[in-house]
Amino acid sequence: MTATTPSVDAAMSQIIAAEEEHVAHNYHPLPVVISRGEGAWVTDVEGKRYLDLLSAYSALNFGHSHPALLAAAQEQLNRLTLTSRAYHNDRLGPFAAALAALCGKDLVLPMNTGAEAVETGIKVARAWGYRVKGVAPDAATIVVAHGNFHGRTTTIVGFSDDPQAQADFGPFAPGFASVPFGDAAAIESAITDDTVAVLVEPIQGEAGVVVPPEGYLRAVREICTRRGVLLIADEIQSGLGRVGETFACDREGVVPDVYLLGKALGGGILPVSAVAADRDVLGVIRPGEHGSTFGGNPLAAAVGLRVVEMLQTGEFQRRAKLLGEHLESSLQTLIGHGVTGVRVAGLWAGVDIDPAVGTGREIAERLIGRGVLVKDTHGQTIRIAPPLVIRGTELDWAVEQLRVVLAA
C-alpha cells in the first residue's frame, strides 16, 4: 500500500513505490521525499522546499546541518569513529564530563537509541533496588504512567497502553504498574516496598504533548524521596532545550534521580543516548553487566559534546521559550476555527483538530501542499516541534498555512 496522493508528482511516487517495495511497513510516512535539509527547511527531490515543523520528533532541535555540529562530526570522522569500549578513546571522557555537568550528576552511561537508554534505566533501577534498597530477588516493580511512550523494545511496549504498540508482541516482562498520568496520588498508591522506581515523561510527547497539572512533578519528587524510590525522568523528547529549559523537569525546579536522554543528543546526525545519575545509583553497574558495541563511540561523543556545549550558553533554551510563547498565542487564535484544543510547552505543541475538518493525518497531508511538514499522532492531534533555530516570521507563516488548510 502506498501513501501517495494525487498531488504527488510522478517521479516522487516512483521513489516512494520503490522504497515501499523493500522497506518493512512499520511506518506510514507522509508522501514527500526529502533529499536535503538546512536549518528549519528541507528540500524534496523536485527542489520544492518545506518548513520542517517536526524536527525528527525533536532529534533535530538544532535544525538540519547545523554548521557547528557538522564541523564536530567531520573533524572526528577524519580521525577516529569507533573503538568499542574494549579500549578507551579520547572523546568519551570529555563528553561524559560535560553531559554530567549539564545534568548536575556524577556519572553518565552512554548508549545509542532512546529505547536503549530506557532499558538501561530499568536495569540500573532494578540493580539499585536489589543491591542498595534490599528488595527481594526478582521482586522489583517500577511505576509508569498511562499514555506513556518510552520506545519499542519488548520490555518497553509491555507497559504501554497503546494497543497498536502491543498487539501480537507478547508475552511481556512483568514488574510494571501503570497509573493515570498527572495523578501523583495514584503513583503514591501504586508504590510498595518492592518499588524501585517511578518512570515518567515530564511531558508526554508521543501522547500529543500532554502537559501534567502544575505541581505534579514536584509532588512525584516528594513521594519518591519519602518512599525511597528513584525518580527516572524520560527526557528523551522533552529535554535538551525543547521546552524553554534544559530539561522539562526544570519547569518545576525538580531534579530526578535519573535522566534518560536521547534524540537531540545526537545533533540530528547519529543516534546518541545516555543515562545520567549520581554515583550512588549509576555506580551499581559493574564491568560486564551492561554494554553496547557502539555506545560511547568517539564520533557520537564528539557530536554529543558539541550539543552539550551549544546548550551551555542557554541560547537555545531562551529561543524555545520566547518563540514558544509566540507560537502559543498564534495557535490559540485557531481554537474554534478547526482546532479544539492546544497544549504548548516551550517550542512544542499538540494541536487537536476538529474532526469536522479532517483527521490529523489529512491536515498533515494538506499542509504538504502548502510547504509545511507536521506529523499527526493518535488520530486527531498534530504535533508541532520545529527546530529551535526557526525564526518567528517562519513560525507565523506556518501557522497561516495551517489556518488556510483548516478553513479549506
Catalytic residues: 149, 234, 263
Helix (H), strand (E) at residue 108:
strand 107-111
Tell me the three state secondary structure of residue 167.
coil
Task: Tell me how far, at minimum, the Cβ of 252 lies from ligand PLP, in Å.
Answer: 17
Stretch that binds ligand PLP, among 114-122, 138-146, 159-167, 275-283 (CB under 6 A): 114-122
Q: Closest separation between CB of residue 121 and ligand PLP, Å? A: 10
Rule CB under 6 A: is residue 385 a binding residue for ligand PLP? no
Closest CA to 91 of 301, 304, 310: 301
- Using the rule CB under 6 A, is 373 a contact of ligand PLP? no
- Of 200 and 364, CB closest to ligand PLP: 200
DSSP string, 268-332: TTS--EEEEE-HHHHTT--TTSS--SSTT-HHHHHHHHHHHHHHHT-HHHHHHHHHHHHHHHHHH
* Residues numbered 124-163 forming contacts with ligand PLP, rule: CB under 6 A: 149-151
Q: Which of 52, 183, 201, 352 binds ligand PLP (CB under 6 A)?
A: 201
C-alpha cell at 356: 469536522
Q: Which residues from 83-102 bind ligand PLP, rule CB under 6 A? A: none
Which residue minimizes CB distance to ligand PLP? 114
Burial track 42-79 (b if 16+ CB lie within 10 A, e otherwise): bebeeeeebbbbbbbbbbbbbbbebeebbebbeebeee
Considering the rule CB under 6 A, would residue 295 count as an interface residue with ligand PLP? no
CA torsion, ordered 204, 205, 209, 215, to nearest 10 deg: 30
Q: What's phi and psi for 143, nearest 5 deg?
A: -95, 130
The reply to whether 262 sits near ligand PLP by the rule CB under 6 A is yes
The single residue among 39, 63, 114, 147 that binds ligand PLP, judged by CB under 6 A, is 114
Write down the least CB distance from residue 112 to ligand PLP, Å: 8
For position 205 contacting ligand PLP by CB under 6 A, the verdict is: yes
In the bound state with ligand PLP, the residue whose beta carbon lies nearer, of 39 and 205, is 205
Is position 242 an interface residue for ligand PLP (rule: CB under 6 A)? no
According to the binding rule CB under 6 A, does residue 212 interact with ligand PLP?
no
Strands 339-344 and 349-353: antiparallel
CB atoms within 10 A of CB 275: 30
Q: Segment contacting ligand PLP (CB under 6 A): 229-237, 277-285, 306-314, 338-346?
A: 229-237
Where does 24-91 have alpha helices with state H?
Answer: 55-58, 67-77
Closer residue to ligand PLP, CB minimum distance, 12 or 373:
373
- CB under 6 A: which stretch of 187-195, 234-242, 315-323, 374-382 binds ligand PLP? 234-242
Number of residues that bind ligand PLP (CB under 6 A): 16
Is 148 or 401 the residue whose CB approaches ligand PLP more closely?
Answer: 148
The 10 Å Cβ neighbour count of residue 10 is: 7
341: part of which helix (H) or strand (E)? strand 339-344
248 binds ligand PLP (CB under 6 A): no
CA distance 189 to 203: 21
Tell me which residue has cell 561523543.
301
Q: Could you tell me the CA-to-CA distances from 158 to 140, 168, 176, 293 in Å, in that order? A: 16, 11, 9, 25
Shortest Å, Cβ 18 to ligand PLP: 25
Q: Which of residues 35-64 bind ligand PLP (CB under 6 A)?
A: 57
- Stretch of residues binding ligand PLP (CB under 6 A), selected from 22-30, 38-46, 160-168, 230-238: 230-238
Sign of dihedral through CA atoms 210, 216, 218, 224? Answer: negative
**Contacting residue, 118, 179, 323, 342, with ligand PLP by CB under 6 A:** 118
CA gap 356, 364 in Å, rounded: 15
Scan for cell 536503549, then name that residue: 116
Helices and strands, number each (H, E), in the chain: 14, 15
Binding mask 16-35 for ligand PLP (x = CB under 6 A): --------------------
With CB under 6 A as the contact rule, the residue among 12, 236, 310, 363 that binds ligand PLP is 236
List interacting residues with ligand PLP (CB under 6 A): 57, 113-115, 118, 149-151, 201, 205-206, 234, 236-237, 262-263
